[in-house]
Structure formats: structure tokens, C-alpha cells
Chains A and B, each alone.
Chain A
Amino acid sequence: MSKKYQVSIGILLGLLFMPKTVFAMHIMEGFLPPIWCIAWGAICIPFVFVGLFSIKEKIKVNPKMKMLIAMVGAFAFVLSALKIPSVTGSCSHPTGVGLGAILFGPLVMSVLGLIVLIFQALLLAHGGITTLGANTFSMAVVGPIVSYFLYKLLKKMKVSQSITVFTSAMIGDLMTYITTAIELSLAFPDATGGVMTSLIKFMGIFALTQIPLAISEGLLTVIIFNLLTKYNKKELRELKVLSEEA
């Protein structure tokens, strides 16, 4: 019991001192009207709440999962620290939440993603405390959910393992930024063209820039997944990520 707490406090402290991210491509502090900040924040609360219990539950079932959970959290930290140039001439960063969503389900990543975003907002002035709800919704709720269900779907269709992992991580990453664009255009409809005109504009900024980065994230996730398959088949099977015969 006490050891479990020690480890979770350790992970928490580790996360705490990890200057979170980025330059990135989250909605900037103060750039979302208060009403939207509150609305997106409220939507995220149940996801994070259930996610906390789901982490607790997973560790209870198998205490060894702690390390794997810490690893997928760290993976998200690394990826969101990498500002990569893109074809549009601006930079953005991958999110790294796809891997964890595939392994542990989307809600675990809601918690880890939120932690990443908080420290990013506090220490790096990226994203923001007021826009935390909106950014959590895009990066820690929508992205992981898309990755998770896409993974399940492609696996059912018997697509090869690598392609399945690649596609789910990539599309999840892309959806995060598409969601960001939607959030901004809802808050800032164009005076003449309305929400759609704004959406096209923000999509051009976020989604287009993100395409090559989403591909990179997909590739990096496959690298990690290959290593996990090689060294840790047992836990992957326990998590039902790999089927028995795989």
C-alpha cells in the first residue's frame, strides 16, 4: 500500500518537474472567451475523473503496470517537447497520447494529457490555465478516443499490426488539432462567413501544419510498439492489446 503511494507520488513529482511542453499548438492563454473556457472545462471533468479511477484500477489488477503507465506518460512528454518544422513554414509538435490510448484505453490518457498540459501552461507559457479545458478536450479526450477506437476497428479488420498502430496514432494526433481548430472557430466565427469560414482558416493553420507531424508521431509510436512487442508480449496480452496467437 505505502509502496504504491510512494511510486505514484514519485511519478507525480516526475511529471511536475517535467517542463511541459510546448510551443505548441495549443490554444494560447487568454485567447478563448471565458464562457468557452468554462464549457470545455466542464466537458472534460467526467473524462478525467473516470480516468483517475481507471488508472487506480489498472494498477490494482497488476502493480507492474505502473512502469508502463509512467513510460507512456513520459513518451507523451518527449513528443510534446519536440517542435518540428512543417511544410506550411511553421512549427508544431506531436502529442504522443496515441500510444497510451492504444495500451490503456483513452481515459487513462485524459489524466496524463491533462498533467502534461498543466505543466506546459504553468512553466512554458504554452497553452494556458484559462484554455486548459479546451486544450484538454482536444489533446487528452478526443485524440485518445479516436486512436483507441480506430485501433480496435482496424484490429478487427485484421489489418497488420504496424499499420494499425501507425494509423491510429496518426489520425488521433490529427484529430487533436482539428478539434483545436473547431474550438477556435466556434469561439471566433467570421463576421461575414460565420463558423465555417473561420474553421477553414484555423484548419489551414493547425491541421495542415500537423499532417507531416502526425505521420512522424505514427512512425515513432510504431517504433515503441515494436520494442514493446519484442520485450513485453506478456503485458501487452494482459492488456488485450495483442491477441493470444499474435
Chain B
Amino acid sequence: MNIEKKSKNNDIFKKNLILAVLVVVISVIPIVFLKNAEFTGSDDKAQEAITQIDSNYKPWFLPIFEPPSAEIESLLFSLQAAIGSGIVCYYFGYLKGKSKKDEGKNE
């Protein structure tokens, strides 16, 4: 029973590891193969396209607050990711602890 359970845990770990590696590969491929690309945001591209279609169009409203520099912007982004993953990881830690406890009870 125990061995069976362990091998099942390993299965999920392996599966998730492979999936995670795939995600990394997918995002690295463009960087490796498109050496001259700028990798700007696709929203900036859309801005250009709008100006092409209607050269008279002027944004009628400007952002209320804009991060003062690229560094500060990336700070805010990483903060967002950090807080988000903190919550996600907390949740799974909680689940894991809980399932261990339940297991102990059953035995």
C-alpha cells in the first residue's frame, strides 16, 4: 500500500516536472531563434496598427499613474508574481499538511 502510494506520488511529480520543462522550452525557443526581435509588448504593436489605420486617432485618456521607470515597473510585476505565487504555494502547503494528517488518522 505504502509503496503503491509512493510510486503514484512520484508519477505526479514526474508528470508536472515534464510539463514545467515544456513551458520553459516554449518560452526560450523564441529568444534563441529570433535574434533580432525586440520582444516588446503586443499592446505596443496594436498601438502602431491603430495609428496606421487611423492616423488622426489620439488617445483621449491617459493613464492616471504610470510606473516612473522600467525598473519600477518590473519591481511591481515581480511583486505581483511573488505575492500571487505565495498564496498559491501556501494553499498547496496547507493541502499537503492536511492530507498527511488525515492519512495518520486513518492508520
A205 touches B80 (CB 8 A): no
Task: Pick from A44-52, A121-129, A152-160 the stretch touching chain B.
Answer: A121-129
Interface assignment of B66: CB less than 8 Å from any CB of chain A:
yes
Chain A, 83-101, CB within 8 A of any chain B CB: 83-92
A219 touches B41 (CB 8 A): no
Task: Pick from A1-9, A54-62, A69-77, A137-145 the stretch touching chain B.
Answer: A69-77
Chain B, 16-34, CB within 8 A of any chain A CB: 16, 19-20, 22-23, 26-27, 29-31, 34
Interface assignment of A241: CB less than 8 Å from any CB of chain B:
no
B83 touches A29 (CB 8 A): no
Binary interface encoding of chain A residues 191-234 relative to chain B, with 1 for a CB under 8 A from any of its CBs, else 0: 10000001001100110011010011001101110111011100
**Which residues on the B side are within 8 Å of A73 (C-beta)?**
87
Residue of B nearest to A70 (CB): B87
**Which residues on the A side are within 8 Å of B39 (C-beta)?**
85, 89-91
Interface assignment of A109: CB less than 8 Å from any CB of chain B:
no
With A25-B43, A30-B62, A89-B30 given, is the CB distance from A19 to B84 under 8 Å?
no
Rounded to whole angstroms, the CA-CA distance of A173 and B30 in the bound complex is: 19
A90 touches B84 (CB 8 A): no
A29 touches B62 (CB 8 A): yes
**Which residues on the A side are within 8 Å of B53 (C-beta)?**
188-191, 198, 201
Distance of B32 from chain A, by nearest CB (Å): 10
How many pairs of residues, A versus B, come closer than 8 Å at their CB atoms?
198
**Which residues on the B side are within 8 Å of A90 (C-beta)?**
37-42, 44-45
Interface residues of B, dominant DSSP:
helix
Chain B, 51-74, CB within 8 A of any chain A CB: 53-54, 57, 59-67, 73
Rounded to whole angstroms, the CA-CA distance of A88 and B45 in the bound complex is: 11
B49 touches A202 (CB 8 A): yes
Distance of B51 from chain A, by nearest CB (Å): 10
Interface assignment of A151: CB less than 8 Å from any CB of chain B:
no
Interface assignment of B46: CB less than 8 Å from any CB of chain A:
yes
Among B36, B38, B83, chain A packs the most CB atoms within 10 A around the CB of: B83
With A29-B62, A219-B22 given, is the CB distance from A19 to B77 under 8 Å?
yes
Interface assignment of A242: CB less than 8 Å from any CB of chain B:
no
**Which residues on the B side are within 8 Å of A189 (C-beta)?**
53
Rounded to whole angstroms, the CA-CA distance of A202 and B26 in the bound complex is: 23
Rounded to whole angstroms, the CA-CA distance of A23 and B74 in the bound complex is: 10
Binding site for B on A (CB under 8 A): 14, 17-31, 33-34, 67-68, 70-71, 73-78, 80-92, 121-126, 128-130, 184, 188-191, 198, 201-202, 205-206, 209-210, 212, 215-216, 219-220, 222-224, 226-228, 230-232
A18-B79, A23-B77, A85-B34 given; 14 more Cβ-contact pairs under 8 Å? A19-B76, A21-B77, A23-B41, A28-B59, A29-B59, A88-B42, A89-B38, A122-B64, A123-B65, A184-B46, A188-B50, A188-B57, A223-B19, A231-B96
